[in-house]
Structure 1
């Protein structure tokens, strides 16, 4: 019986392992709605699902396999096996083992997400323009920050996380979803007081009634206005070839349908900002 159990475990590992072949692309996703929607009635209808479908259809010479994991696991897979991910932030550390495409879209930067009822506790760190200083909040308050394992947020948030890995004021979430569990933790007033996330993530969770409409998004003063997203593949000859094809397919353009799918879950006051950033990064080209 023991031997049978070992065989079953071995077979399950073989079946779920990424296929290593020149004509196969293993696509890795986090459960990151509304970017990548990996379950439920709207499975496959996120804006990054849309981009991946476009790339897959433009690369019929490859077999396309999908895998779901948190970003920590995704990064490990890309460092060890041939694979790609359509929603990645570029960092110097990641560039050591990931080949990045040219930018594919700008995201409105991550901010602080917390309960509206807790706003008074955050007001000492918010300026007259409505921006919060994440540096002052982390250094001088008792409040605890929730983040997702392996995820990069950009700017000062990443610096704080990298420089305070043993801090009890940073709570790391290990599940595949990136914000839902953290928000529910805040809502239940358990171990964290605020999370870091994108405004469209929060809007999605509320619109789907996965969390109550009790949250507020506060932009961070020390963050850039927007963060660029890239397609990333394993950094080797295979990955360089795939990224070259991806760049050719995208051709420096930000497709209107792709953009609108992202903007669908942006707070209305942020859509104009996103249009501004998009037009500066991806100017309209005459045919």
Structure 2
């Protein structure tokens, strides 16, 4: 019996129970998507995106930790954050994510996602647009045969997320699993394959056009049912370790929208939208909109 007891004890010690975390708590695994111009992970402008800037700022402000960077699609990022000690610089907060992600105070303000399609096909979308040029995403999805392209694991906010959540098996919802979040979707649209329109931010589209990744054949249409802007947050795994990291990050951020961070975002925003962004910043970050 004594021999059996020692065998069982050895197995427990050598093979931790499921869910036990054996990761070094002095290490932060930072996950980010290939999401230019927010995260620029290759080319001459590598590391110059506004999320790259904030990630670097936080890492320098937390010298007591070892920092390791990883690139993945949002589906994998969410899995890692649910199972390991991980952080992501800018994430949208949703009730589902709050179950396993500890969020910081707001760090970033994006103008909302919109519909992106070919200029040559805009007449197909006009029946669902109002006089101000906004489109009803609910009417478009429900009443047209056109197919929406989205990226796996990504959240878009507002009515778009409701459509995605309520119609997981719809033939009109095409999910891409690529690490890039928009480029492959637009190339699919450009080639007139399986997608008629994608959902994305205006600065994403502007970046891809300026870099020559896609042709200047696309149009951005704002969505009527979306909020004027979307706030994003730093997220870490929701456990004792993650709460400690987020507490430190909140002290570093101190309720401000850091100026260089904002400017780097506006560098790729269409010029006619910069004033709107400034007005939104003043509403969401009244203490500091510099």
> In the alignment, which residue of structure 1 is the partner of 2:35?
32
Partner residue in 1 for 2:16? none
Partner of 1:62: 65
| Partner of residue 233, structure 1 | 236
Structure 1 residue 275 corresponds to structure 2 residue 278: yes
Highest Rg: 1 or 2? 2
Q: 8 Å contact 1:19–1:26 — kept in the other structure?
A: no
Structure 1 CA distance for aligned equivalents of residues 98 and 84 of structure 2:
15
Distance 2:50 2:230 in 1: 16
- 1:136 is matched with 139
User: What is the SS of the residue equivalent to 1:104?
Assistant: strand
Aligned mate of 2:87, from 84, 88, 94: 84
Alignment match of 2:74 (pick from 71, 76, 79): 71
1:148 aligns with 2:123: no
TM-score, normalised by the number of residues in structure 2? 0.91
| In structure 2, C-alpha distance between the alignment counterparts of 1:229 and 1:124, rounded to whole Å | 32
- Deviates most, 39-48 or 124-133: 39-48
Give the length in aligned residue pairs: 269
- Provide Cα deviations, 1:177-207, integer angstroms capped at 9, x if missing partner: 0000000000011000000000000000000
**CA distance in structure 1 between the partners assigned to 2:254 and 2:267 by the alignment:** 24
2:266 aligns with 263
Mapped to 1, the partners of 2:161 and 2:257 lie a distance apart of 27
| Alpha-carbon distance between aligned partners in 2 of 1:197 and 1:186, rounded to the nearest angstrom | 13
Structure 1: which 5+ residue stretches go unaligned? 1-17
1:140-199 deviation line (CA, Å, top 9, x unaligned):
001000000000000000000011000010000001000000000000110000000000
Q: How far off its partner does 1:283 sit?
A: 2.2
Residues 19 and 132 of structure 1: CA distance in aligned 2, closer, same or farther (over 3 Å): farther
Q: CA deviation at 1:20?
A: 1.7
Q: Deviations over 1:222-271 (max 9, x none)?
A: 00000001000000000000000000000011121110100011111110
Task: State the match for 1:10 in structure 2.
Answer: none
Partner of 2:225: 222
Q: TM-score, normalised by structure 1?
A: 0.92
1:160 aligns with: 163
Structure 2: how far apart are the matches of 1:245 and 1:19? Answer: 22
Q: Distance in 1 between matches of 2:228 and 2:261?
A: 20
1:95 aligns with 2:101: no
Give the superposed CA RMSD: 1.3
Pick from 232, 249, 258 the counterpart of residue 252 of structure 2. Answer: 249
Counterpart CA distance in 1 for 2:120 and 2:255 is 43
